[in-house]
Amino acid sequence: MNKKIKPYNIVIVGTGGQGLITLLQVLAEAAMAEGHDFKTSELHGLSQRGGSVEVHVRLGAKVHSPIVPLAKADLIFALEAQEALRAIKFSHPKSIFLINKQIIPIPLQKALTGEEIMNHVKKTSKAAKLVPAFEICKEKLGKGVTSGIYLISLAVSRGFLPLSPEAVLGAMKKVMPEKYLALNIKTFDLAKTYEEK
Amino acid sequence: MEEILSNQSGKKVILLGNDAVARGALEAGVQFVATYPGTPASEIGNTFYRIAQKAKVHFEFSTNEKLAMEAGVGASFAGLKTLVAMKNFGLNVAIEALLPFVYTGVKGPTVVMVSDDPSCYSSAQTEENTRAFSYLARIPTLEPADVAECKEFTKLAFEISEKFKVPVLLRLTTRVSHQKMPIVLGQVTTNTSLVKGKFVKDARQFVTMPPRVLEMKEELLQKNKEIRKFFEKSKINKFEKAAPSGAGIIVSGVAYLYVREALAQLNLALPVLKIGSFYPFPKQTAQKFIKTLKKVLVVEELDPYLAKEVKEAAQETKCKARIFSKEWLPETGELNTDIVALAVAKLAGRRYQLPSIKHQIPDLKRRPQLCPGCPYWLVFAGVKKAVNEKEVVFGGDIGCYMLAGGAPHFLQDYLSCMGSSIGIAHGIKKATGQKLISFIGDGTFFHAGIPALINTVYNGSNPLIIILDNRTTAMTGHQPNPSVPGSNISSSVAIEDVARGCGVKHLKVIDPVMQDEFIKTIREFITKPEVSVIIARRPCIFVKPKDEQKN
Ligand SMILES: Cc1ncc(C[n+]2csc(CCOP(=O)(O)OP(=O)(O)O)c2C)c(N)n1
């Protein structure tokens, strides 16, 4: 019988086109570089056409299932603020919950405000944070597309992720196409200077 | 160098489940691969499309799954080591070709990989369980649970196929196909050039006809007896021991991972029998496992086929163990650790409650949408302008254009399987005479639409068929189809030639950007007494102009 070795559980939610599968691959490569066991799960197909997307990454000494159980996420990234609502079921009072302040409207549905979203999220996850990653990237780098890497870098630099900055950077270099790499590395560095208002 | 082709045996790499099947096939020395795209199996094709030239493997995206299977049968008859891959529904299309192949048996070892999609994440029509086909076809069936097993089981499947001269089915599910983990590469011996097979005449093996066909069935039954014995001794049926408590678990596929995690979560030690070979079922292995038990939980996704096998095995030996399966587990939707933990807790007589969110969370209705700039926007807008929607029945089919069913289009009154928009249109027309427009993509038209079109001509019905020719199979990840030449493929088939050849008299190719002409033609064609076809041709925004020009 194996001992109770808990994996470290990461859930990323967002919408199709936000590059969630690339982020998954970066985390997986970094986990391998640091010698962790890990499993990941992703959904393909219809979800790509602008629908909601959810990917899971679990790392530790021994990981069985690729799917994070309910209320067992240690770290949640929501790349779009409204999508954070879908991840609440994975959160618990101690989860780190980083939410990109970007809103991508849903056709025929009134967009929720950041405040409304945080009211829901904070009922289970007191430490949830709304981070203006999209705005910062847009303002400082001209584009908001790398906000996912911004959130990951933030988690790494604050020690929320059991992965070293070097491992994550190395993984980015391995996974990302040449032409997007420079912007992503700049984003990674930029996030280290983030200060909460 | 692509990692999947690396010959650094012993190297650790991250692979997707489907790519691990591809790698397993390469390590086994695969020579011929045929597939038809479909999530969650598409990456097999995408990967071989990319690497086939380098790996010196014959590869094709066949026009449908039956043709992929038949190409595979031919290659196997010619002695090549063959892999055929498809999604669940693909096997429905290919089953006609698979059944006799299991009778004739293989010449070149052959593996058929099929991926099911519990919870229908990428499957419109039904929640299918391919394991039912294992019985119908009497085909040996392996079920890997994780990525490492995807590679190992693929290699084993080739070995079994070689040893017993039958094709072997490798059954995955979404959470196996789209799982990643680090795995260790084995040896690949890349071919230096494309391997040429040879078809050696042998009517006794390759011609299925009575009375020989009944002998073939007897031979197959005999082979399966031997294969069952092989599985009784095989390591892929794993007996994981624990201190006796009277209870135990039998499990197959990805559910094994949930069982292991649930046991860890509940801090329980129970014996587990992991079944890797679903068919033929290793009955004696199961009988040995349950012999001393009072309660057995069978954990499997969808239908309780494994449970039936276990119950039969128990009955035969008069084993009194109580066997639980779908009393405690759902038959619809995928499993996960939480669902399995509840059942395992019941088995162990433990109290267990799932965490639940007490407060109401708003439901986000973020549905998939046509991409901005997708030519289908123009097609649906034109149709809406051309006709009174209330007076027309709209037939849907399988592809990106099934998004016609949602806002803001609402142009889909029925949806079934590939090609059926035309087949069903014919039936509705015959039965009612109501006005009808059916939508079908270029890929789907080639896949199963052509015989249906011929049927409208031959049996005389008059739907208006709009073929959405976006020059690709977009939905499943932009694989090439016969409407456009692919890389390494120089020929293509013009849909207008096909339609004309089928006897369609009212036919026009229109770029939907030309809205006036498009609308005018719809109005004209919908009143015709014979079937009419509009080919709405404009490439998907993801099709590179370079591919387009080649045509
Ligand atoms: C029998 C079967 N095989 C494969 C699939 C997977 N599949 C979903 S949509 C699609 C084809 C779409 O191609 P096309 O008709 O060209 O439409 P597009 O997505 O380009 O609009 C396929 C193959 C399926 N649903 N059923």
Nearest-CA neighbor of B317 among B284, B345, B268? B284
Q: Is residue B147 predicted with pLDDT exceeding 80? A: yes
Q: Is residue B545 predicted with pLDDT exceeding 70? A: no
Contacts of A70 in chain B (CB under 8 A): 338, 354-356
**Tens digits of residue pLDDT in B11-21:** 999 999 999 99
* CB–CB contact A44 B122 (8 Å): yes
The partner residue sitting opposite A1, judged by closest CB among B40, B242, B408, is B242
With H, G, I as helix, E, B as strand and everything else as coil, classify residue A157. helix
Contacts of B242 in chain A (CB under 8 A): 1
Q: Which atom of ligand 1 is nearest to the CA of B540?
A: 20
The partner residue sitting opposite A52, judged by closest CB among B257, B366, B408, is B366
Dist. CA B521–CA B301, nearest whole Å: 49
Question: Using CA positions, which residue lies closest to atom 3 of ligand 1?
Answer: B90
B2-233 shares its CATH topology with B238-348: yes
Question: How confident is the model over B136-147, as a mean pLDDT?
Answer: 98
Helix-strand-coil split of chain B, %, nearest 5? 40, 15, 40
β partners of residue A189:
none
Among B473, B537, B538, B547, the mutation site with the greatest number of ligand 1 atoms within 8 A of its Cβ is B473
Helix ranges restricted to H, B82-127: 88-104
Angle of helix A178-191 relative to helix A147-157, nearest 10 degrees, comes to 50
The gap from C-alpha B158 to its chain's centroid, in whole angstroms, comes to 19
Contacts of A29 in chain B (CB under 8 A): 14
Q: What percent of chain B has pLDDT over 70?
A: 98
Structural domain of A168: 8-191
Q: How far is A41 from chain B (nearest CA, A)?
A: 5
* CB–CB contact B369 A109 (8 Å): no
A78 neighbors A97 (Cβ within 8 angstroms): yes
CATH 3.40.50.970 fits B376-548, yes or no: yes
Q: What percent of chain B has pLDDT over 90?
A: 92
Residues lining ligand 1, CB < 6 A? B 36-38, 65, 87, 89-90, 93, 398-401, 418, 441-444, 468, 470, 472-476
Q: Is residue B139 predicted with pLDDT exceeding 70? A: yes
Helix ranges restricted to H, chain A: 20-33, 84-87, 114-121, 133-141, 147-157, 165-175, 178-191
Non-local CB neighbours of A189 within 8 Å, separated by 6+ positions: A153
The partner residue sitting opposite A1, judged by closest CB among B147, B269, B408, is B269
Question: Using CA positions, which residue lies closest to atom 22 of ligand 1?
Answer: B38
Task: Confirm or reject contact between B82 and chain A (CB < 8 A).
Answer: no
Nearest-CA neighbor of B24 among B143, B149, B151? B151
Nearest-CA neighbor of B205 among B77, B97, B110? B77
**Tens digits of residue pLDDT in B76-92:** 999 999 999 999 999 99
Q: What's the CATH number where A21 sits?
A: 3.40.920.10
Question: How confident is the model over B482-486, as a mean pLDDT?
Answer: 82
* CB–CB contact A4 B365 (8 Å): no
Q: Which atom of ligand 1 is nearest to the CA of B39?
A: 6
Task: Confirm or reject contact between B1 and chain A (CB < 8 A).
Answer: no
Among B379, B438, B475, B542, the mutation site with the greatest number of ligand 1 atoms within 8 A of its Cβ is B475
Number of neighbours of residue B485 by Cβ within 10 angstroms: 16
Interface pTM (ipTM) of the complex?
0.95
In a domain, A2, yes or no: no
Q: What CATH homologous superfamily does B2-233 map to? A: Thiamin diphosphate (ThDP)-binding fold, Pyr/PP domains (3.40.50.970)
**Tens digits of residue pLDDT in B23-35:** 999 999 999 999 9
Q: Please list the pLDDT of chain A residue by residue as tens digits (197 residues).
A: 334 468 999 999 999 889 999 999 999 999 999 999 999 999 875 656 778 899 999 999 999 999 999 999 999 999 999 999 999 999 999 999 999 999 999 888 899 999 999 999 999 999 899 999 999 999 999 999 999 999 999 999 999 999 999 999 999 999 999 999 999 999 999 999 999 87
- Among B366, B377, B473, B479, which would you mutate to test the A interface (most chain A Cβ atoms within 10 Å of its Cβ)? B366
Considering chain B, what is the average pLDDT of its residues?
Answer: 96
B478 neighbors B486 (Cβ within 8 angstroms): no
* CB–CB contact A67 B121 (8 Å): no
Dist. CA B370–CA A49, nearest whole Å: 7
Dist. CA B354–CA B337, nearest whole Å: 10
Amino acid (one-letter) located at B225:
K
Give pLDDT, residue A43: 82
β partners of residue B180:
A40, B16
Nearest-CA neighbor of B364 among A87, A147, A76? A87
Give pLDDT, residue B400: 95
Residue B487 burial (C-beta neighbours within 10 Å; 0-12, 13-18, 19+):
exposed
In a domain, A89, yes or no: yes
Dist. CA B128–CA B95, nearest whole Å: 14
For chain B, what are the domain ranges? 2-233, 238-348, 376-548
Task: Confirm or reject contact between B365 and chain A (CB < 8 A).
Answer: yes
For the record, the structure tokens of A12 come out as 């990323």
The partner residue sitting opposite B182, judged by closest CB among A38, A51, A112, is A38
**Tens digits of residue pLDDT in B237-276:** 999 999 999 999 999 999 999 999 999 999 999 999 999 9
CA of B404 to the centre of ligand 1 (A): 15
pTM, full prediction? 0.97
Q: Is residue B282 predicted with pLDDT exceeding 90? A: yes
Secondary element (H or E) of residue B495: helix B495-501
Confidence band, pLDDT 50/70/90 cuts, at residue B549: very low
CATH 3.30.2350.10 fits B238-348, yes or no: no
* CB–CB contact B366 A25 (8 Å): no
Question: Using CA positions, which residue lies closest to atom 1 of ligand 1?
Answer: B90
The partner residue sitting opposite A40, judged by closest CB among B179, B354, B355, is B179
The number of distinct structural domains making up chain A is: 1
Give pLDDT, residue A50: 79
Torsion sign (Cα): A177, A138, A15, B384: negative
Torsion sign (Cα): A144, A148, A151, A152: negative
- Among B149, B258, B340, B364, which would you mutate to test the A interface (most chain A Cβ atoms within 10 Å of its Cβ)? B364
**Tens digits of residue pLDDT in B412-422:** 999 999 999 99
**Tens digits of residue pLDDT in B315-345:** 999 999 999 999 999 999 999 999 999 999 9
**Tens digits of residue pLDDT in B91-127:** 999 999 999 999 999 999 999 999 999 999 999 999 9
In a domain, A81, yes or no: yes
The residue in chain B having the minimum alpha-carbon distance to the alpha carbon of residue A67 is: B336
